[in-house]
Amino acid sequence: METPLTPMEFARRARRLYARREAVVDGDIRLTYAQFFDRCDRWSAVLQSFGVAQGDRVAYIAPNTHSLLESFYAVPQIGAIVVPINYRLIPDDFAYIINHSGSRIVCAHSDYLDAVDSIRDQLPGVTHFVALEGEKAGWLDYEATLAASSPTFQAAEIAETDLLAINYTSGTTARPKGVMITHRNAALNVLNTLAHHHLGPQDRYLWTLPMFHANGWTFVWIVTARGMAHICLRKVEPRAIFQLITDERVTMFCAAPTVLIAVASASPEVRGTPPRGVRLFTAGAPPAAATIERVEGELGWEITHVYGLTETSPFITICEPLPEHDNLPLEAHAVLKARQGVELVASGELRVVDPEGQEVPHDGMTLGELTVRGNVVMKGYFNDPESTARAIRKGWFYTGDAGVVHPDGYVEIRDRFKDVIISGGENISSVEIEGVLLRHPAVQEVAVVGMAHERWGEAPHAFVVLKAGAASSEAEMKQFVRDHLAHFKTPQWVSFVDELPKTATGKIQKYVLRGGAAITRQ
């Protein structure tokens, strides 16, 4: 009587229970669940007519649209594997990922047709090119092809260990790696999330997070599992976020801390009068307590901090609130919420270990590497056994994140190990310095990296984005840090910049700052 763990089971249930409920809003397009799944079925039939078989890969390059959302059902329900690609990559990266994954079909939004055309001669394995929107010679029209198709397709027999998606990492220091996510990985991440965070058919979810990023943190399936409405957002911009939250009665969204900063910094004219009580998940980088204070205190929204990686489907921990947290002042509450938290009920076992693999004391001070084993850890890197062996050692996945464990068992990340600054023999957390500077009234965003220093080996360099109309100085920034942290943690340099380099998911690209900072070091 066992059935495999797969998000397709959530889709089966949604078809029966939520057929008449609104499923998708994408601009002027509104679809019920019956209409949405009819479109998914038609596209499954088309893919099979193209010769796509179980285990084949289908690549997508698109922003958050209804057609991209359909891929997360139409492709896996025939046993094929969806490959959602970061649309902000360059054509050379597109070519590498399409070829490395062995994708037979490429589906692209109109904004990326020219980019794909520029590399067509490098894609010998691709049999069909599909334009999800727009018309262009040499491309099949998605809507016309779908409309002409029957909704009848041959459903696949899915094993929970079968691949569901291959999600390529951003490849900041090397070629992107293809993270193999199984049906079991994704299904358990969905169930984990719902065990800790109640959602229901009354909720409406705004797609601020890119769907390509770790399958939208599996919210491409979570939202459907609970009969909620998917509100598509093609470009993350504060005015559009506030407008949709108000107009579409949004109750939840997910966002990286940089997006939260942009939202919290929006002017009253941009904000309008948004509803209070909106819930949101934040992850992707450690959020500063000051950012949490602003969002919860000024907007009346409720933040849940989660942590994970693409390689862990993605959630490993959640900063679960406890009754004893309820009566804390806002500032103290925000400090607690900035921690990464505790294991989800079925994510697996999390340990913070020293270089010998021994668990560090739970003293809130001893630094170690976060490691995890269990149900959400990827199957491995696609066609890359060497990288898989480096990441998964003796049955544990090594995250590369440096953190501590507090006496209450809550984990707190202090940095990526590669971002820990070693100055004069002292370990300095860039995240800690950033958290302090974000409390300065003139600071909107900040990133701290280690730079070479003749005396200390390396020292902190702070890159600061000031709020509109605000002014400050390097001396003032340094003194502010000195007033709150040990003196050796004070930035050696402070540069004021207009913006920080970021990935499509809002992560700050610190390697860009290290490699391109034009400063004089003394």
Query: Which pLDDT tens digit goes with each residue over 160-196?
Result: 999 999 999 875 456 889 999 999 999 999 999 999 9
Q: Give the per-residue pLDDT at 207.
A: 98
Give the residue ranges of DSSP H helices in 213-329.
214-217, 219-225, 238-247, 257-264, 268-271, 289-294
Q: d(Cα 10, Cα 512) in Å, to the nearest integer? A: 41
Residue 192 located in a structural domain: no
For residues 380 and 251, membership in a common domain is answered with yes
Instruction: Select from 183, 205, 225 the last residue of a domain.
Output: 183
Q: d(Cα 110, Cα 134) in Å, to the nearest integer? A: 5
Residue 323 located in a structural domain: yes
Phi and psi angles of residue 56, each rounded to the nearest 5 degrees, phi first = -75, 155
Q: Give the per-residue pLDDT at 419.
A: 83
β 426-428/396-405 pair status: unpaired
**Whether the Cβ atoms of residue 71 and residue 107 lie closer than 8 Å to each other:** yes
Q: Give the per-residue pLDDT at 518.
A: 37
For residues 59 and 44, membership in a common domain is answered with yes
Q: Give the per-residue pLDDT at 197.
A: 96
Q: How confident is the model at residue 486 (pLDDT cuts 50, 70, 90)?
A: confident
Q: Give the per-residue pLDDT at 520.
A: 36
Q: How confident is the model at residue 522 (pLDDT cuts 50, 70, 90)?
A: very low
Please give the residue that has the higher pLDDT: either 136 or 174. Answer: 136
Identify the CA nearest to 70 among candidates 113, 27, 110, 26. 26
Q: What is the pLDDT of residues 213-267, one digit of tens each?
A: 999 999 999 999 999 999 999 999 999 999 999 999 999 999 988 899 889 989 9
Q: Give the per-residue pLDDT at 171.
A: 54
Q: At a CB cut-off of 8 Å and minimum separation 6, what does 32 contact? A: 19, 20, 21, 22, 23
Q: Cis peptide leading into 314, omega within 30 of 0? A: yes
**Whether the Cβ atoms of residue 212 and residue 85 lie closer than 8 Å to each other:** yes
For residues 269 and 401, membership in a common domain is answered with yes
Instruction: Select from 154, 183, 212 the last residue of a domain.
Output: 183
Q: How confident is the model at residue 519 (pLDDT cuts 50, 70, 90)?
A: very low
Q: Give the per-residue pLDDT at 465.
A: 96
Q: What is the pLDDT of residues 22-69, one digit of tens each?
A: 999 999 999 999 999 999 999 999 999 999 999 999 999 999 999 999
- Show the domain range for 466: 420-516
For residues 487 and 400, membership in a common domain is answered with no
Q: Rounded mean pLDDT of the chain?
A: 93
For residues 299 and 405, membership in a common domain is answered with yes
For residues 388 and 454, membership in a common domain is answered with no
Q: What is the CATH number of the domain that holds 493?
A: 3.30.300.30
For residues 165 and 254, membership in a common domain is answered with no
For residues 149 and 284, membership in a common domain is answered with no
The pTM (predicted TM-score) of the whole model is 0.88
Q: How confident is the model at residue 517 (pLDDT cuts 50, 70, 90)?
A: very low
Percent with pLDDT over 90 in the chain: 81
Q: Mean per-residue pLDDT for 481-494? A: 92
Q: Give the per-residue pLDDT at 453.
A: 85
For residues 448 and 403, membership in a common domain is answered with no
Phi and psi angles of residue 271, each rounded to the nearest 5 degrees, phi first = -65, -40
Q: How confident is the model at residue 286 (pLDDT cuts 50, 70, 90)?
A: confident
Q: What is the CATH number of the domain that holds 121?
A: 3.40.50.12780
For residues 333 and 460, membership in a common domain is answered with no
Q: What is the pLDDT of residues 411-431, one digit of tens each?
A: 999 888 878 888 877 778 888
Residue 202 located in a structural domain: no
Instruction: Select from 121, 154, 183 the last residue of a domain.
Output: 183
Q: d(Cα 418, Cα 414) in Å, to the nearest integer? A: 11
Q: What is the pLDDT of residues 94-115, one digit of tens each?
A: 999 999 999 999 999 999 999 9
Please give the residue that has the higher pLDDT: either 518 or 447. Answer: 447
For residues 409 and 469, membership in a common domain is answered with no
Q: Mean per-residue pLDDT for 63-85? A: 98
β 315-318/342-343 pair status: antiparallel
